[in-house]
Amino acid sequence: MLVHQAYRYELDPTASQRVLLAKHAGTARFAFNWGLALCKERLEHQESVPHGAELHRLWNIFKRGNAPWWVEVSKCSPQESLRDLDRAFGNFWRGRATDKFRGRILSASISREADRWYVSLTVERERPDPVPVAGPVVGVDLGLSSFAVLSDGTVLESPKALDRSLRRLQRVSKAHSRKQRGSHNRRKSAMRLARLHRRIRNQRQDFLHQATTALAKTKSVIVVEDLNVRGMVRNRHLARHISDAGWSEFRRMLAYKTEWYGSHLVVAPRFFASSKTCSACGAVKDELDLSERAYRCAECGMVLDRDLNAARNLAHLVAGSSPDTLNACGGRVRPDVA
């Protein structure tokens, strides 16, 4: 099958190359902000927004009298930046991202994180059609005390990258805010803060990649909840913990990895009562307080961990279904698996 796949490599530039990379990044940022200001001005005057080619023509006129340093960088740097701006406006109007690989390179982007430089390549390549995974159906209930509980009883513990580094992050941030603006010490503290943010993000990404790859390679069907993460982070008491968990990124990774490895991802209906439903008899409670960590069924007497009960209900949604006809459109949940 033909797929678009991204590769990201860390660069090891020399001191002079670092200067050139910084100049190109600064030029791209300047051109993007210049183009964005121009487009906003056109919108304020109810005029049409210039497209990518027009933006580049106007930039060529502007740079000769206002950006004498443009001769020090490649013309591709502002050109690609303005193309990104044109693409961003297009998404906005639509309501809206040795042989190491083989394929046709579609784009290459250079980025900097703290003191490190990276190149990201988007490649169009052929992947072999996956062999269907012969593993079991598994329901995945996401949480905060542990990252997820699976219907087979497995518990995925979250690294809680931000939470574990929060005190250090607060200390470094406070020290940075006290440095004099424009000073050498402030630049050093900014780099130290950026490195810490990068470390936290890498810890979270590493865990999510390992968890999603293991699930996609070993489970035939993975059933997850359709969580309203955007709405949930409005709760100021839980926002930081939810963002630290990375639920949205977890589901995004599962979506493409299940296609790669031959498994299936099923998303339960948004209002499916996985927590309030008894996974043994199907009885549904009217209310279930968040403080109740064990599910106690008044009908059959079952007592089970709340998260495990929810995960089993998710698995029951598709248990016994053919992988080619899987759906999660709701309906009465009945326990077809043990």
Cα of 174 vs its chain's centroid, Å:
28
114/191 Cα distance (integer angstroms): 6
Rounded (5°) CA angle 309-230-33: 150
Catalytic residue positions, numbered: 141, 225, 307
Provide the strand spans (E) within the chain: 2-10, 104-113, 116-126, 137-142, 148-150, 155-156, 221-224, 264-267, 294-296, 303-305
Pair 149, 306: CB distance under 8 Å: no
Closest CA to 55 of 74, 31, 72, 77: 31
Rounded (5°) CA angle 170-176-178: 110
- Residue showing tokens 């000769």: 64
H-run or E-run covering 17: helix 15-44
